[in-house]
Structure 1
Amino acid sequence: MLQFQDHLDPWDILRFFEDKVGAGLWRYDAEGRMQWSRGFYRLLGLDPFTIAPSYAEIEKRIHPEDRRPKRDPREFMFDRSLLNGEIRIVRPNGALRWIRIQSEVLLDPASAKESVLGLAIDITEQRRLLQPLKMDSDRYAALIDITGGVLWIGTQDGRITALLKADNNAEAQRLFGNGWIDLLPEEERETALRNWLVAAETGRPYDVEHRLRQPDGSYRWYRCKAVPVPEADGVIREWLGISMDVHQEKLSLQPAGAAKLTGAQLRAARGMLNWSVKQLASRTGLSAAVVRRLEEQNGMLRMPEGTINQLRDTLSAAGVEFIFPAVGKPGVRPR
């Protein structure tokens, strides 16, 4: 077996390693003396002929946001956290570099602490390559916050195998595995499973609304959407889904009664469609005077049911939707 020490000088090996990897070594002994290798000088952008190795000199190069609280360098012998980890350094020319530092305490033959040996590696390029991933991760986290839902990963047979960004969400944990099925009303479980299996077999997106039992025994409406995540060969590896609480929205979309419409809704709907009073009157067969009188009424319109239905149906067909929330005032929005 080839022995390196028989053919190469240790310092040649160290220089080769430092040059190719972008690394450097430092040492701090029990007497408070520090030594740096040529590679460590190069990491800091310093001249070995003009700068003496010291912890204070390293600290000057550490980015202000990454500096640890002021400590006595002699604590290196007992606490290596003064430098261990990933930190940014600013070279004298202003260049910013990321370095990872790891260290180890060395003992003398009597097992007393003799020195601390540290290795520093330039990881700036790795950090640069990871930046797009971090941005995607931040956007992904923001998307979860915007949707207000629980993201999950599921299998072909409908089991939820992972809940994303929901480690501390006890309610989300109830969905894990087949738990979501047990939370459905008993009479809805068979249909829910059948819908899922159809999506899994066809590869079409899954999009349903169902009720889930809450810890207090009540039920809330959720909208569940999922899309397949395929392998390169097209085989579905997993499903990525989101479950969103739409209970209040569901209540707000309760169908209006046979003669349920307010003057404010009528005005808003006409304005949304950019119709004049005459246009609405012409489309409904009413007079402009009747339309104006209805729009001026407070609360629910007091007119024959047929007239109100005619107004509501005409406006709905033109692209507006009337909503009657359980809490708050009736409203109108584009369909």
Structure 2
Amino acid sequence: MRHLEEYLDPSDILRFFEEKFGTGVWRCDPEGRMQWSRGFYSLLGLDPHAVAPTYAEIERRIHPEDRRSQHDPRELVFDRSLLDGEFRVIRPNRALRWIRIQSETFLNSAGEPEYALGVATDITEERRSLQPLKTNAGRYAALTQVADGLLWVGSQDGRITALLNAENKPEAHRLFGKGWVDLLPEEEREAALRIWAAAAETGQPYDVEHRLRQSDGTYRWYHCKAMPVTDVDGNIREWLGISTDVHQQRPAIQHAALPRLTGAQLRAARGMLNWSVKQLAARTGISAAVIRRLEEQNGFLRLPDETLTSLCDALSSAGIELTFGTGKPGVRPR
């Protein structure tokens, strides 16, 4: 069986790869004498009939900002770092190109360096395609610094898989995985998971306010928003979210716009959640007898602000939205 190499001339193979892949080859012996292929001349934009192949000529073509300290060309055989790497070259027509060089030193039978062989590749388009990614990475790094809240990445099943700016937030690790669920008041966890599942199923933005337990046992209010990140086929790959402490803002918000609630809305919301009167009483700290009496009233309930807020917060945390359109007040899943 004959191998492919027996059918091909080495010069044909070299020409094929140089033309198809934008590469060029150079060779350097221990005396610093170099030979360049036509492809290498082409990468530098030089005429093989007018320019001698020397290390000095390569150095002249390298962009001033990318040049390394000058060395004797004879060192190329012993030190591959002199040309290996990525750098810019300026062609005689002032065109700027990026090239990558990889080289290898070959030894003679005595184990001494016989010559160095290098392969250069034009990577200009690759560099250009990476530039937007670098720009976006810079913007992302700035975003993590200016964001007021904790930036996180979540999975479809509600796990937090990454914390993006937690360096100065020592307690942020408690939210990792499904730790955030354990930090919710126990009576609000089921509703929180249901709201997340609805967002994951529909791809709609996740936007809630809930309380999270602090290390000292107290609770603070957080506003959590997340958007789905999709792949090229439109499938949700992950969620990008931010959790912002709004505890100090809530009293002002509640004072500026106190919630409203009718007896019919209270009764309908409880039925939609399939809660008993006792369950709602347990979640709000309001007696079951009071809740029954409130559900029987017509019109807006006249209650102390604290009691009214407690009822509305319990329903909201469970995924109920109170509506006040042009018709009658109503309720709907949020």
TM-score band by shorter chain is: 0.5 to 0.7
Letter in 2 for 1:251: Q
Letter in 2 for 1:54: T
- Asked if 1:179 corresponds to 2:179, the answer is yes
2:241 match: 242
Q: Quick check: 1:106–1:115 contact (8 Å CA) kept in 2?
A: yes
Letter in 2 for 1:254: P
For residues 198 and 30 of structure 2, the distance between their equivalents in structure 1, rounded to whole angstroms, comes to 71
Q: Quick check: 2:150–2:244 contact (8 Å CA) kept in 1?
A: no
Once the two structures are TM-superposed, the CA of residue 90 in structure 1 deviates from its matched residue by 0.7
2:42 match: 42
- Asked if 1:102 corresponds to 2:99, the answer is no
Taking a change above 3 Å as real, the CA distance of residues 79 and 233 of structure 1, as seen in their structure-2 partners, is closer
Once the two structures are TM-superposed, the CA of residue 192 in structure 1 deviates from its matched residue by 3.1
Once the two structures are TM-superposed, the CA of residue 112 in structure 1 deviates from its matched residue by 2.8
For residues 61 and 92 of structure 1, the distance between their equivalents in structure 2, rounded to whole angstroms, comes to 8
Task: State the Cα deviation string for residues 256-277 of structure 1 (Å, max 9, x = none).
Answer: 898xxxxxxxxxxxxxxxxxxx
Q: Quick check: 1:24–1:39 contact (8 Å CA) kept in 2?
A: yes
Q: Quick check: 1:151–1:240 contact (8 Å CA) kept in 2?
A: no
For residues 165 and 256 of structure 1, the distance between their equivalents in structure 2, rounded to whole angstroms, comes to 28
* Alignment map for 1:77-96 (pairs within 5 Å): 77-96=77-96
Q: Report SS of the residue matched to 2:239.
A: strand
Percent identity reads 63
For residues 242 and 183 of structure 1, the distance between their equivalents in structure 2, rounded to whole angstroms, comes to 17
For residues 18 and 257 of structure 1, the distance between their equivalents in structure 2, rounded to whole angstroms, comes to 71
For residues 114 and 174 of structure 1, the distance between their equivalents in structure 2, rounded to whole angstroms, comes to 61
Taking a change above 3 Å as real, the CA distance of residues 256 and 182 of structure 1, as seen in their structure-2 partners, is closer
Q: Quick check: 1:89–1:97 contact (8 Å CA) kept in 2?
A: yes
1:21 match: 21
For residues 40 and 77 of structure 2, the distance between their equivalents in structure 1, rounded to whole angstroms, comes to 20
The two structures have a TM-score, normalised by structure 2, of 0.63
Task: State the Cα deviation string for residues 18-66 of structure 1 (Å, max 9, x = none).
Answer: 1221110112222322222111111111222332222222122111222
* Alignment map for 1:290-309 (pairs within 5 Å): none
Q: Report SS of the residue matched to 1:99.
A: strand
* Alignment map for 1:164-313 (pairs within 5 Å): 164=164, 172-184=172-184, 188-212=188-212, 221-230=221-230, 236-247=235-246, 250-255=247-252
Once the two structures are TM-superposed, the CA of residue 145 in structure 1 deviates from its matched residue by 3.7
Q: Quick check: 1:154–1:238 contact (8 Å CA) kept in 2?
A: no
Task: State the Cα deviation string for residues 296-333 of structure 1 (Å, max 9, x = none).
Answer: xxxxxxxxxxxxxxxxxxxxxxxxxxxxxxxxxxxxxx
Once the two structures are TM-superposed, the CA of residue 9 in structure 1 deviates from its matched residue by 2.0
Letter in 2 for 1:203: G
Say which is worse superposed, 17-26 or 30-39, in terms of deviation.
30-39
Taking a change above 3 Å as real, the CA distance of residues 199 and 66 of structure 1, as seen in their structure-2 partners, is same
Once the two structures are TM-superposed, the CA of residue 142 in structure 1 deviates from its matched residue by 3.8
Q: Quick check: 1:222–1:243 contact (8 Å CA) kept in 2?
A: no
Q: Quick check: 2:154–2:241 contact (8 Å CA) kept in 1?
A: no
Gaps of 5+ in 1: 259-335
Q: Quick check: 1:147–1:244 contact (8 Å CA) kept in 2?
A: no
Q: Report SS of the residue matched to 2:158.
A: coil
* Alignment map for 1:112-191 (pairs within 5 Å): 112-164=112-164, 172-184=172-184, 188-191=188-191
RMSD value, Cα? 3.5
The two structures have a TM-score, normalised by structure 1, of 0.63
Letter in 1 for 2:239: L
Letter in 1 for 2:126: Q
Q: Quick check: 1:153–1:162 contact (8 Å CA) kept in 2?
A: yes
Once the two structures are TM-superposed, the CA of residue 237 in structure 1 deviates from its matched residue by 2.9
Q: Report SS of the residue matched to 1:251.
A: coil
Q: Report SS of the residue matched to 1:126.
A: helix
